[in-house]
């Protein structure tokens, strides 16, 4: 424990928490994309835009 500085331990904890939050965020993004239907027909850009806005707000 003499050579191990507590700053390194705190940095490791923050790094692990950051990694876990990234995995959670990517998982939630993928889950939300799977629930949305993106079917774009001719002249249907307004509906597509509202769906994208809804996805980015969640």
C-alpha distances in Å from residue 52, one per residue of 19, 25, 26, 46: 26, 17, 17, 10
In a domain, 1, yes or no: no
Distance CA 47, CA 37 (A): 11
Rg (C-alpha) for the chain, rounded Å, is 20
Domain range enclosing 27: 6-57
What pTM value is reported for the model? Answer: 0.51
Distance CA 56, CA 50 (A): 10
In a domain, 38, yes or no: yes
In a domain, 12, yes or no: yes
Q: What is the DSSP letter of 2?
A: -
Whether 1 has a pLDDT exceeding 60, the answer reads: no
Question: pLDDT tens digit string along 6-55?
Answer: 888 999 999 999 999 999 999 888 877 666 665 556 667 777 788 888 88
In a domain, 32, yes or no: yes
User: How many structural domains compose the chain?
Assistant: 1
């Amino acid at each position: 424990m003499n050579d191990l500085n507590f700053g390194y331990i705190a940095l490791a904890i923050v790094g692990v928490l950051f990694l876990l939050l990234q995995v959670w965020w990517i998982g939630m993004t993928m889950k939300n994309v799977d629930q949305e239907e993106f079917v774009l027909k001719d002249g249907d850009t307004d509906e597509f835009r509202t769906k994208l806005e809804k996805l980015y707000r969640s």
